[in-house]
Amino acid sequence: MLGICLSIIFGVIIGLFFQTPFLSNSSDTFIDLGLCLLLFFVGIDIGDNSSVFSNLKKYGKKIWLLPISTILGSLLGGVVGSLFLPISIGEGLAVSSGLGWYSLSAIELTKISPELGSVAFLSNVFREVLAILTIPLIAKSIGSFESISTAGATAMDTLLPVINKSNSSDISVIAFFSGVVLTTSVPVLVPLIVNIFKL
């Protein structure tokens, strides 16, 4: 978290005081390269845990309901949020389609509007912080699957230890699967919603 905050502060300082024509004209290229690099490392992370997929067979097709319901719930949250905030339904859906992956959604939406990118970044960071605080309570009071859903895309990496500590060990496999599906969905969902609503 500290590294992310320092990166943003450093970027703001560069943008305010050291902006050059090269940086202005090349920013989209750098954003695309950064995005490809992020996806590359996600792929490495998935490949490194290949044994997880063999363990998923015992859960059958029902396992797909968790990431699908998480996507639908997140998008519904974006619609509800847009009713109370000065953003359109399309913008609310675009922000919520980050599913907790703050870096990627912020990068994509900053191309449209720096303000919208900032909202996407902050809302997804807040989602992760709230998930860290509430996963143990949700797992104990409501259920294991609900605690996984709270984490969104981060269920496969940063919040997996929290999920594992708050639930039985077999839930970690489901959390990883859900996180992989959600992480893979974000690069499709965000541009799709941007195009549908012509943002």
The pLDDT tens digits for 138-172 are: 999 999 999 999 999 999 888 888 888 888 777 88
Greater confidence, 15 or 5? 15
User: What residues contact 114, with CB distance under 8 A and at least 6 apart?
Assistant: none
d(CA 162, CA 101): 17
State the Cα torsion 168-173-174-176 to the nearest 10°: 120
DSSP 8-state symbol, 50: T
Model confidence at 63: pLDDT above 80: yes
Residue 124 included in any domain: yes
Residue 19 included in any domain: no
Residue 67 included in any domain: yes
Domain count of the fold of the chain: 1
The answer to whether the beta carbons of residues 68 and 153 sit under 8 Å apart is: no
Residue 11 included in any domain: no
Greater confidence, 19 or 43? 19
Model confidence at 39: pLDDT above 80: no
User: What residues contact 48, with CB distance under 8 A and at least 6 apart?
Assistant: none
pLDDT per residue as tens digits for the range 96-155:
999 998 888 888 899 889 999 999 999 998 998 899 889 999 999 999 999 999 999 999
Residue 158 included in any domain: yes
Residue 147 included in any domain: yes
One-letter identity of residue 150: T
DSSP 8-state symbol, 101: -
Residue 23 included in any domain: no
Residue 21 included in any domain: no
Cα 179-184-185 angle, rounded to 5 deg: 100
Residue 109 belongs to domain spanning: 29-196
